[in-house]
A and B are shown apart, each in its own frame.
Chain A
Amino acid sequence: MIFIRNFAAQSTLKQMDNQDALKTLNDIRSMMEKSSRFQAISGIAVALVGLLATVAAFVADGLFNNDTNNAFSTLYGNTDFLLAEKTKIAAIGAVLLAIVAFLTVFFGSMIHARRKKIRFEVDSTMRRLLLNFFVPLLAGGILCLALMLQGHYGLTSSIMLIFYGLALVNCHHFSHPALGVLGYIELALGLIDCFLATHALLFWAVGFGLMHIVFGIYLIVKK
């Protein structure tokens, strides 16, 4: 598709005109982007992850809300369901959610790439993308776990948001540039969140739910 013209023009490079030069420069640019950025992120998968996170936030809200007639109280008979137990469930839920979210985006992008005939290969670019994404993310996850084990739950949502934001900022050079913008937004949300003792779940829902839905729609519309 690209560069095809150059075969014909090989012997007549001396007469390269404006159009040829422009096309060659565009070809070079597209090859540079294609080779250094993972371009197949599926907007639908990202929006789906956002939806999932929003639902999870509502479920968690029901879990922690001590209101007598919410879903969990009814389910467990509103007995001595300790806060620690609830927190453990929420933490396991969050880890599972993160895994499901990653798999959704990964396989969603794979399908998206196949349908749109975009290159999707586990090459050095994708390895760099994954490494740069997961190193900050895992560091944040381990920090969260350590704080939880020591009984500090207050900063969980902001640490999740901050490290997720840093992970996105760190890896956006290897994929869609707008990932960086999303990263900075998550980072800002996380930083605001850590000064506010309340509304943790709201920030979590906006950061992981709403923002992903918006970003997913942006990816769909832009293409």
Chain B
Amino acid sequence: MIPNLEGLNKAFESRVRLGIMSALAVNESADFATLKSLLEVTDGNLASHTRNLEELGYISCEKRFIGRKPNTLFRITDQGRQAFRNHLNALAQLLKTQL
């Protein structure tokens, strides 16, 4: 994803995607239901954002079954962690320059 002038990542503009990355940055993994209740979004909304982040290579997704119930587990990738860190640094930089 091409960063804009300030080095902010356009992929993290949406609050849902930013929330997903924040949650996955501090947790080893999180399943779909956990993310859904954390972010207070609908299934469809969350699914489209996770798919988007997965396509960018920022998160990985593992589908499995717990008993008969399908369960999707998300993890942040190294690439995703780096991109998220860059985004945070850009935000911090923005604060510094404008203070």
Which residues of chain A have a CB within 8 Å of any CB of chain B?
2-4, 6-7, 9-10, 13-14, 16-18, 21-22, 24-25, 27-29, 31-32, 34-36, 119, 121, 123-125
Can you spell out 28 A-B residue pairs with CB atoms less than 8 angstroms apart?
A: A6-B13, A6-B14, A6-B15, A10-B14, A13-B10, A14-B4, A14-B5, A16-B94, A17-B98, A18-B98, A21-B91, A21-B95, A21-B98, A22-B95, A24-B18, A25-B91, A28-B18, A29-B22, A31-B38, A32-B22, A32-B25, A35-B22, A35-B26, A121-B34, A121-B37, A123-B33, A123-B37, A124-B31
Q: How many B residues touch the partner, as a band? A: 20 to 34
Residue of A nearest to B33 (CB): A123
CB-CB under 8 A from B4, the residues of chain A are: 13-14
Q: Are B27 and A125 in contact (CB under 8 A)?
A: yes
Cα–Cα, bound, A10→B14 (Å):
7
**Which chain B residues numbered 8 to 66 have a C-beta less than 8 Å away from chain A?**
8, 10, 13-16, 18-19, 22-23, 25-27, 29-31, 33-34, 37-38
The listed residue with most B CB atoms (<10 A of its CB), out of A17, A21, A36, A123, is A21
Q: Are B6 and A25 in contact (CB under 8 A)?
A: no
Cα–Cα, bound, A95→B3 (Å):
58
Q: Are A35 and B38 in contact (CB under 8 A)?
A: yes
B19 CB contact (under 8 Å) in A3, A119, A121: A3
Q: Are A119 and B38 in contact (CB under 8 A)?
A: yes
CB-CB under 8 A from A17, the residues of chain B are: 98
Residue of A nearest to B19 (CB): A31
Q: Are B22 and A14 in contact (CB under 8 A)?
A: no
CB distance from A120 to the nearest CB of B (A): 10
Q: Are B6 and A14 in contact (CB under 8 A)?
A: yes
B2 in contact (CB, < 8 A): no
Q: Are B31 and A3 in contact (CB under 8 A)?
A: no
